Amino acid sequence: MLNKVTLIGAPTDIGAGARGASMGPEALRVANIGPILQGHGIEVQDRGNLNGPPNPWLPPDQGYRHLAEVVTWNQLVHDAVYTELSGGRMPILLGGDHCLGLGSISAVARHCRDAGKKLRVLWLDAHADFNTSDLTPSGNIHGMPVACLCGYGPTELTSIGGQVPAISPKWLRQIGIRSVDAGEKKFVHEVGLEVYDMRYIDEMGMRHTMELALATMDANTHLHVSFDVDFLDPDLAPGVGTTIPGGPTYREAQLCMEMIADTGRMGSLDVMELNPALDVRNKTAEIAVDLIESLFGKSTLMRK
Ligand SMILES: [Mn+2]
C-alpha cells in the first residue's frame, strides 16, 4: 500500500436528493482525517477543495437533475484523481455526493490501463447506485454512478475516463446493499453484479463476505474502495441524506475495513455522502475517520 496520500475535497451535493453533502470535506478535516493518517506514518498532502459550479436545485430535465453541473464536477474529480495516481500517490476523495464516484473511478480505471494493472472496486453502500434515467424515479445522479461506470448512461458521463465502458461489472463487489429500486433490481441481475446484500452478511457473516469480495486479487491488482457513509447503520452514522435501517454494526464495519487493510492492495479511496447538516455533533464524520484509520491498518492489538 502506498504511504503517500493526497486529500482532495469535492464540496458538492449536485447529484443528491438532499442538500448538505457539500459540507462533507470540511467535516472530515474537522474530524482530523489528515493528522490521524499522519499518526500512522503516512505522508499526507491536502490539496484543498475543487471548485465546481453551485447547485441550482432544479427538478429533473429529461430524466436527470443537474446533468451539466454533474459532468463538470466529475471532470474536475477525474482530473485531480488521475493526476495524483500518475504521480505515484494515493488519492482520497472527500465527498461530496456519490455521483462523483464516476469521475474518481473513471480516473482509477484509466490509471490501471496506463499501468497494466487489474482493477477491483469495492462499493460499500446501502444502495446499488445502478439506476438509469429510465429506471430512477428521482433523476438524482448519485443513484446512477455504477451504471454509468459500466457504460449505461449519458455519453458525457460514461466517457469521462476516455473509454466506454470505464469498467467491467465483473470488477465490482457491492457490500451492505439493502435498498434497491424495483427496476434497478432487475437491471442488477441482468448485468450480473456481484452483490453481498445485508441478508447475505446476516446469514454468512462479514468475515466470509469479505473473504469472497477480496478473493482472486493478486500482486498486480489495484483495489479501489468507494465508501458511501450510508453503508453504516443509521444508529451509528445518522449524518447522511438517505439513511436506511439495518446496516453493518460498528464491529462489522471495522472488520470489513481491517480485512481490506490486510490485503495491502488499496490504491485509492472515496469517502462519500457525509452530510453534516444531518449529523449530530460531527459524530458521523468521526466514525468515518475512525473506519478510515482501520483501512490504513489500525487494529486493536499489534498483529504479527
Ligand atoms: Mn451511494
Q: Which residues contact 203 (CB under 8 A, 6 or more apart)?
A: none
pLDDT string in tens for the chain (304-residue length)? 568 999 999 999 999 999 999 999 999 999 999 999 999 999 999 999 999 999 999 999 999 999 999 999 999 999 999 999 999 999 999 999 999 999 999 999 999 999 999 999 999 999 999 999 999 879 999 999 999 999 999 999 999 999 999 999 999 999 999 999 999 999 999 999 999 999 999 999 999 999 999 999 999 999 999 999 999 999 999 999 999 999 999 999 999 999 999 999 999 999 999 999 999 999 999 999 999 999 998 865 555 5
In order of 74, 106, 209, 249, 253, the CA distances from 162 in angstroms are: 13, 8, 33, 38, 34
Nearest to 146 by CA among 162, 176, 163, 169: 169
| pLDDT, position 2 | 67
Helix pair angle (250-263, 283-295), 10° resolution: 30
120 CA distance to ligand 1 middle (Å): 17
170 CA distance to ligand 1 middle (Å): 19
240 CA distance to ligand 1 middle (Å): 10
Task: Tell me, rounded to whole angstroms, the distance of Cα 77 from its chain centroid.
Answer: 13
By the 8 A CB rule, do 188 and 128 touch? Answer: yes
Per-residue pLDDT tens over the stretch 231-273: 999 999 999 999 999 999 999 999 999 999 999 999 999 999 9
145 CA distance to ligand 1 middle (Å): 8
Q: Which residues contact 236 (CB under 8 A, 6 or more apart)?
A: 247, 249, 250, 253, 287
289 CA distance to ligand 1 middle (Å): 18
Cell 474536475, residue located: 76
Which string of b and e fits 34-61 if b means at least 16 CB within 10 Å? bebbeeeebebebeebbebeebeeeebe
| pLDDT, position 304 | 53
Indicate the pTM of the whole model.
0.97
Residue 165: all three cell numbers together: 465502458
Q: Which residues contact 270 (CB under 8 A, 6 or more apart)?
A: 92, 93, 95, 98, 100, 101, 104, 105, 224, 225, 226, 227
| pLDDT, position 1 | 59
By the 8 A CB rule, do 177 and 195 touch? Answer: yes
296 CA distance to ligand 1 middle (Å): 22
* CA separation for the pair 268, 225 (Å, rounded): 6
13 CA distance to ligand 1 middle (Å): 12
Catalytic residues: 98, 125, 127, 129, 142, 228, 230, 273
Helix (H, G, I), strand (E, B) or coil at 65: coil
| pLDDT, position 136 | 82
By the 8 A CB rule, do 286 and 238 touch? Answer: no
